[in-house]
Structure formats: structure tokens, C-alpha cells
Amino acid sequence: MKIKKLFLNLDDVANAALFLAVFIGIWQLVFVLGIWPKISLPSPATVAESFANIISNYTLFKGIGITLGRLVVGFFISIALGAAIGFAMIKFKGFGKTMSSFSAGLLSFPSIAWVPFSILLIGFNDAGILFVVIMSSVFSITISTYSSIRNIPPIYIDAAKNMGAKGLSLFLHATIPAATPSLIIGIRQGWSFAWHAIIGAEILMSIVGLGHILSVGREFQDMGQVIASMITIFTIGLLVDRLLLFKLEEKVRSRWGIE
Amino acid sequence: MTKLEAKNIEKYFDHDGQKLQALGGIDLKVNDGDFVCLVGPSGCGKSTFLRIVAGLDRPDNGEVLLDGKPVIETGPDRILVFQEGALFPWLKVIDNVEFGLKIAGIPKSERSEISKRYLDMMQLTRFAESYTYQLSTGMKQRVAIARALVLDPDVLLMDEPFAALDAQTRDLLLVEMQLIWERTKKTILFVTHNVAEATMLGNRVAVFTNRPSTIKKEIVIDYRRPRISEDENLSKYQQQILAELRPEVKANV
């Protein structure tokens, strides 16, 4: 059971390969049928060529590096800020109530709608992009911190207090660990919001990064580059979620015995 | 010597906007090393009383004295063993057992020494590295008892800790509990709705009335140990308790 988890499951790999083969097959078929002009829908081979092109001139790697760098900085600020607001909401009940409806509203606020505000307030620069990323993900962290702590079964807190925990020790040894399974879900969600936001912000606000590569592809009517960037964005999103966040969540869940 | 004293404990709850009196003035004196069982109809407030003694709830009236000093907050001198165990699922068995010691700032080596002794006593040594979901209900309650004992509390408070166990496991733990009590000389307050369980464990059994509850009668059980559930001589005490309890339960139905 444990060994199976450590290695890639062969069935899963076979299924994924089959799915991919069928997808590329249909794509090729649609291309051959000529429903769209070649410039609007290039063949898989042309996209592979574009891929090779942006890989060999390092555009892609530079773009990935810049985007992920911004994302990591923005996301960590989000976690720190979101958790701090969440804790304050627990501590001050009135603030918690108000902020929780406010955050719920901002949670569904489209990230792209922050762009004009950010350009005018901060400028057409890295800090402006970070601002969009933070505003798009911080409220998901805030709400998840708040609700994770509020939903802790009171018996854990009672037991910990009874055994002498209070103040900081109660917080570190009972509150945080008891809230962890649902905190991680919030962090996963926050990450996905941050990821949406950075690509959107880069398309509109950046002269480097993955989002910019995408928007250059559009400007030069280079559909090959557009699709190659999209595939890259998809792959990175998938890898980070599956290899990092999902693994983390699974680890906690298995320790707790949650199926 | 009086270890613990409850004086006129009253407690009210809000129930659909109405004030409901759960405890109507509980008076109880517990001597050092006493094993007192509290029985009563369900919903009579036995558990509430135990939480008040633990300092997890505040009484609306009256006070609890430990060694003559009023109890104002919860703390490791009165450890409560919850019905559900309340083990921490994020910790291994051994870390659950050492939790209170860690909070108290006791160094690692000393902690391991103490926890080893109690894991041994509760026959948990081979489960030390397990997580709690891997344990049976009976094992979980053993961990909860070990977690309480490591702190060497003045008073051990137990809230129906064996209610969720199957009959065989319960019988086993009822005998073990008596051995633990004889070995540790702990003062124990034990809530149960099971009269047979009360007569096996307690050297005194306090019968609660219906809400608002008071203590109706205290029955002393001066009988050899370890007592086993098959012992027919215990039935005399059980009849005595049931005679007190029956009208309360009837009033409750």
C-alpha cells in the first residue's frame, strides 16, 4: 500500500497516455479536415515546433522563472497577511463577523478587475502585479483561517486547556494542528486563485513572464506560441497542485485517518 | 482528609430562550484517595458537574474547593477523561500521552521515561508510534487514561469513559481501573449511567436526582477488590442504587 503510493501507478500512467493520445488524435483530425484556417488552428506538429523554438531561445524558461518567482513572493505575502487577518478575526469577534462577509464578497471578485486599479495606484511594474496576485488570493486564506479555527471541535481545545495549555502554547500545540487539515484546503484554493491572477496580470501588465509570452503570441498572430504557452501554464498548475499541495493534504489526511 | 469539596453548585443553561436549571445545588465532599461514582438519569447534569470541577465550565452559583482552595480555572491538577477520549489525531500515541508534560516544559528524556512507564501500565507500548485512528475504541480510552495519569493529577475526573466499549473490553478495563486506583491512590470522580459499573468501581456512589439535580443519596460500598462483574454480592448494592434511581428515571421519561 505504502510502496504503491511512492511510485507512479502504472495504470494511471497508461490512462493518462491514452487520454493524451486521443486528444492529440482528435486535434490532428480537426486540423486535417480544415475547418479553421491553418493560422487559427495549427497542427500539433506546428505547436511542437513553436515549443522547441521558445525552449531553444530560452524565452520559455526565463518566462517560467519570472512568473514563478513573482508568484511565490506574492503567495507567501498572501499567506502571512491572510493568516494574520484570520487570527485577528478570531480574536475580535465583531471584526470577524464583518470581515467574513466582506471577504466572501472579495473572494468572488474577478482577479482581472484589480488590474486597472493596481496600474493607477501602483504602476505598470512588478509591485503592481504582486498587488493583483495578493488581492486575489489573500481573502481565500483569510476565510479559510477563520473558518478552520472556528470549526475545531471544542473538545480538543478543552482537553488541551485541561492539560495546562494556554495562550501561545494552546495556539501552537492545539489550535494550529487541529485546524491544519482544513487550512491546507484553503492554501490550495488560495494558490489556485494566485495562479489565475498572475497570468491575467502578466497578459495585461508585464513585458516579461509566461502571461507576456502568451500575449506576444496573440500580437504576432502566432497561434503555435499561444497554444504552447497555454500547455505550459496548464502543466505547471497541475504539477504544483498534484506534486506539492495535494501530496501535503494527503499526508495530513492519512495521519488523521481521514479517507 | 477532604481533597475536593463542591458547595451548592448551581448551573443554568439557555434552552430555546428559556432558562433551564441543570444543577440545583450539588454538595459533595470527596476524601483523598476516594473512588466516587456519580450515577443519575441521563441529562441530569452529571457531566456538567464534572466539567465544572475540571474548571472547563463556570458554575452560576457555589464553588469547588481543591485542598480548601477555590478552583477558578482549568488545570492539570484535575484531569478530565472524556467519553470520546478526545485524543489528538495529529499526534502519535506516545505524543498524545506526553502532551501535558510537553506543555509543562518537561525535557524530552524525562518525558520519555514517564510516558514509557504509563504506556507500559496501560499495555500500549507496541502502539506508541501509531496514530489514534489506528486504535480500537478500547485502546483509545487506554491512551486517554495514560495521558491523564502521566500528569499525576490530584483528582482524576472520568466522564463515562467506558460507555462506548463492548461488554468484554469494558469488563477488562473495569478490573484494570481498580488496579490503577490501588496502585496510584488517586482520588477519582467517575460519572456513569451504568449501575453495575458504579458498584464495581466506587467505594462511594452518589445518586443524582432529575433536573435540577442534587445529590439524593450516597451509598458506601465497603467490599473487597478487585471486584468482578459476575460477583453476585454486588447486586445487593445495585438494588439499593436502583431503588433510588428508578423514580428519577421515571420522572424523566
Contact residues, chain A, for B104 at CB < 8 Å: 164
- pLDDT tens for each residue of A118-140: 999 999 999 999 999 999 999 99
Contact A256 B147 (CB under 8 A): no
With bands split at pLDDT 50, 70 and 90, how would you rate the model's confidence at A22? Answer: very high
Contact A158 B56 (CB under 8 A): yes
> Of A159, A180, A257, which is closest to B131 when you measure between CB atoms?
A257
Q: What percent of chain B has pLDDT over 90?
A: 83
Of B1, B5, B103, the C-alpha closest to B52 is B5
pLDDT of residue A75: 96
Residue B4 has pLDDT above 90, yes or no: yes
pLDDT of residue A52: 94
Average pLDDT, chain B: 93
Residue A1 has pLDDT above 50, yes or no: no
pLDDT of residue B15: 84
> Of B56, B102, B132, which is closest to A162 when you measure between CB atoms?
B56
Cross-strand partners of B19: B14
DSSP letters, B84-126, are T----TTSBHHHHHHHHHHHTT--HHHHHHHHHHHHHHTT-GG
pLDDT of residue B23: 94
d(CA A119, CA B210): 69
Cross-strand partners of B2: B31
pLDDT of residue B249: 81
pLDDT of residue A2: 45
Contact A255 B147 (CB under 8 A): no
Q: Is the preceding peptide bond at B226 cis, omega within 30 degrees of 0?
A: yes
Residue whose grid cell is 495549427: A42
A-facing residues of B in 159-218 (CB < 8 A) are none
Residue B253 has pLDDT above 80, yes or no: no
Longest dimension (CA), chain A: 74
Of B169, B170, B168, B206, the C-alpha closest to B190 is B206
With bands split at pLDDT 50, 70 and 90, how would you rate the model's confidence at B44? Answer: confident
Q: Which residue has the higher pLDDT, B43 or B64?
A: B64
d(CA A258, CA A185): 14
With bands split at pLDDT 50, 70 and 90, how would you rate the model's confidence at A4? Answer: very low
Residue A109 has pLDDT above 70, yes or no: yes
Name the closest residue on chain B to residue A177, using Cα atoms: B90
Provide the residue type at B82 as one letter. F
Of B1, B6, B31, the C-alpha closest to B203 is B31
> Of A160, A163, A257, which is closest to B89 when you measure between CB atoms?
A257
B-facing residues of A in 159-218 (CB < 8 A) are 159-165, 169, 173-174, 177-178, 180
What would the mean pLDDT of B203-212 be, rounded to a whole number? Answer: 94
pLDDT of residue B11: 95
CA torsion through residues A127, A133, A136, A142, sign: negative
Residue A9 has pLDDT above 90, yes or no: no
d(CA B8, CA B25): 4
Residues 6+ apart with CB under 8 A from B226: B175, B178, B179
- pLDDT tens for each residue of A50-70: 999 999 999 999 999 999 999
Q: Which residue has the higher pLDDT, B42 or A80?
A: A80
User: What element of type H or E holds B79?
Assistant: strand B78-81
DSSP letters, A180-210, are HHHHHHHHHHHHHHHHHHHHHHHHHH-SSSH
Residue whose grid cell is 479559510: A144
Residue A15 has pLDDT above 50, yes or no: yes
Q: How far is CA B87 from CA A150, B79, B148, B203, in A?
A: 19, 13, 11, 29
d(CA B171, CA A37): 81
Longest dimension (CA), chain B: 55
- CB contact at 8 A, A237 and A210: no
A234-248 in b/e burial notation, b at 16+ Cβ within 10 A?
A: eebeeebbeeebeee
Task: Give phi and psi for B195, each to the nearest 5.
Answer: -65, -40
- CB contact at 8 A, A90 and A217: no
CA distance A253 to chain B (A): 9
d(CA A139, CA A132): 12
CA distance A88 to chain B (A): 24
pLDDT of residue A8: 67
Q: For an interface test with B, which of A1, A161, A162, A249 has the most B Cβ atoms less than 10 Å from its Cβ?
A: A162
Q: For an interface test with A, which of B74, B78, B127, B156 has the most A Cβ atoms less than 10 Å from its Cβ?
A: B74
- pLDDT tens for each residue of A188-208: 999 999 999 999 999 999 899
Residue B156 has pLDDT above 50, yes or no: yes
Average pLDDT, chain A: 92
DSSP A96: H
Contact A158 B86 (CB under 8 A): yes
Provide the residue type at B3 as one letter. K
Contact A162 B134 (CB under 8 A): no
pLDDT of residue A63: 94
What would the mean pLDDT of A103-112 be, rounded to a whole number? Answer: 90
pTM: 0.87
- pLDDT tens for each residue of B128-151: 999 999 999 999 999 999 999 999
Contact residues, chain A, for B147 at CB < 8 Å: 163
d(CA B154, CA B31): 11
Q: CB burial class (10 A; 0-12, 13-18, 19+) of residue B72?
A: exposed
> Of B55, B103, B133, which is closest to A165 when you measure between CB atoms?
B103
Contact residues, chain B, for A161 at CB < 8 Å: 56, 74
A-facing residues of B in 29-58 (CB < 8 A) are 54-56
- CB contact at 8 A, B219 and B237: yes
Contact residues, chain B, for A172 at CB < 8 Å: none
DSSP A175: I
- CB contact at 8 A, B128 and B91: no
d(CA B168, CA A114): 64
Residue A166 has pLDDT above 80, yes or no: yes
d(CA B59, CA B22): 10
